[in-house]
Amino acid sequence: MARGALTQQQKDRRRYLLIYAGLTPFVFMAVFPLYWMLITAFKQDPDLYRMENIPFWFNMAPTLRHFNILFFQTNYGAWIVNTMTIAAWVAVITLVTAVPAGYALARLRLPGAENIAISVFMTYLVPPIILFLPLSRVVAMLGLQDQWWALVVVYPTFTIPFGTWLLMGFFKTVPMEMEEAARVDGCGYLGAFVRVVLPVSLPGVLTAVIFAFTLSMQDFLYGLAFVAPGDQKPVPVGVPTELIRGDVYYWGSLMGAALLVGLPVAVLYNFFLDRFIQGITGGVGK
């Protein structure tokens, strides 16, 4: 009996080892660029540009100089503030529009709700590369060219469709009876929505906020096309366009800047990745 259990354990261990061996290249592929960014950001310049050394560890003392440059000689601080402010506004606009829309489509048995829902989601698939030229005109008409406000107007074009779709799924999972009970108790439609459905859908609403934030961070084209002044850019646009001056690359600062913002976003997004996949594959309200 005991021997049987032991061999089972050994079998398991061998199986795990095989799986880990299979996963190692994938983990390496995912992690190495990050590691390379990290170590580059803290290396002294002579250490970066000497080929005789083994480059995977520090050959000279680590330095914070690159971050010093970043925060005191570039607009990096401003870009972080811009990014955060843009994301906050985008999240607010997305919530104000997508929460009611998702609820209406999921719950109120509107004629044509299916078609509206699908059309709204399809707009998420219209690529920015087709929209950015006409949108540049819209931005100019609004007098927002070369300000980060332009991005606050433009980013909801993809966060609203995705948010609506996502929230529709959430609202579908709230039991209909709860709402009906609320209405029997004298709540109107608005009352049932605000007092009963919304509180239990809070996780969904929070997810929509996270996506408004992370999807805004994934944009590059709109930021590149609409915001030229150095102090108005969001981080993903500012770093590659302002820290590369002609042929001179400040690799240490570049990698530091990229990592400092990219890593938290990636971690945040990681937690909600399954939701994202469920959203786009239409597996809503599982």
Partner 1 sequence: MTPTSLQGGGPEPTARAAVVSVAAPARSRLVFQSQTSRRLAFGYLLLAPAVLYVLLLVGAPFLFSLYLAVSDANVGDPVATFIGAENFRAAIEMDVFWTALQNSVIFLVVAAIFKSLLGTSLAFLLLQEFPFKKLIRGVVVIPFTLPIAISVLAWKWMYDSQFSVINWVLSRAGLIGQYGTDSWPIWLGDPKLALLACIAVNVWRTFPFSAIVLLAGFTSVPLEVLDAAKVDGCSFFQRFRHVVAPMIFPILMIGFLFDTVFTLSDLSVVYLLTQGGPANASKILPVLAYQIGIQAGNLGRGAAIALFLVPLLAPAMFLFLRNLRRREY
Site for partner 1 in 119-158 (CB under 8 A): 120-123, 125-138, 153-154, 156-157
Choose the binding region for partner 1 from 1-9, 66-74, 196-204, 272-280 (rule: CB under 8 A).
Answer: 272-280
Among 5, 51, 61, 248, binds partner 1 (CB under 8 A): 51
Q: What is the DSSP string of 66-105?
A: HHHHHHHHSSHHHHHHHHHHHHHHHHHHHHHHHHHHHHHH
Phi/psi for 248 (5° steps) reads -95, 120
Longest dimension (CA), the chain: 80
Residues near partner 1 (CB under 8 A), total? 98
Query: Hey, which residues does 249 pair with through a beta bridge?
Result: 244
Choose the binding region for partner 1 from 65-73, 74-82, 196-204, 250-258 (rule: CB under 8 A).
Answer: 250-258
Phi/psi for 112 (5° steps) reads 80, 10
Examine residue 61 and tell whether it contacts partner 1 (CB under 8 A).
no
How far apart (Å, rounded) are the C-alpha atoms in residues 210 and 199? 18
Site for partner 1 in 230-249 (CB under 8 A): 235-237, 239-240, 249
Examine residue 60 and tell whether it contacts partner 1 (CB under 8 A).
no
Angle between helices 235-242 and 202-218 (to 10 degrees): 10
Examine residue 166 and tell whether it contacts partner 1 (CB under 8 A).
no
- Tell me whether residue 30 or residue 61 sits nearer to partner 1 (CB atom): 30
Choose the binding region for partner 1 from 59-67, 68-76, 199-207, 265-273 (rule: CB under 8 A).
Answer: 265-273
What three-state secondary structure class fits 51? coil
Question: What is the smallest separation between the CB atom of 154 and partner 1, expressed in angstroms?
Answer: 7
Examine residue 187 and tell whether it contacts partner 1 (CB under 8 A).
no
Question: What is the smallest separation between the CB atom of 238 and partner 1, expressed in angstroms?
Answer: 10
Question: What is the smallest separation between the CB atom of 124 and partner 1, expressed in angstroms?
Answer: 9
Among 8, 9, 10, 270, binds partner 1 (CB under 8 A): 270
Choose the binding region for partner 1 from 34-42, 59-67, 74-82, 195-203 (rule: CB under 8 A).
Answer: 34-42
Whether residue 110 contacts residue 168, with contact meaning beta carbons closer than 8 Å, is answered with no
Beta strands in the chain (DSSP E): 244-245, 248-249
Among 6, 60, 108, 202, binds partner 1 (CB under 8 A): 108
Examine residue 184 and tell whether it contacts partner 1 (CB under 8 A).
no
Examine residue 186 and tell whether it contacts partner 1 (CB under 8 A).
no
- Name the token pair of 257: 């800047």
Examine residue 80 and tell whether it contacts partner 1 (CB under 8 A).
no
Choose the binding region for partner 1 from 70-78, 84-92, 109-117, 194-202 (rule: CB under 8 A).
Answer: 109-117
**CA–CA distances in Å: residue 201 to residues 63, 68, 101, 207, 286:** 47, 44, 14, 10, 15
DSSP-derived letter for residue 232 is G
**Tokens 């993809």 correspond to what residue?**
158
* Helix/strand number for the chain, H first, E second: 15, 2
How far apart (Å, rounded) are the C-alpha atoms in residues 105 and 111? 10
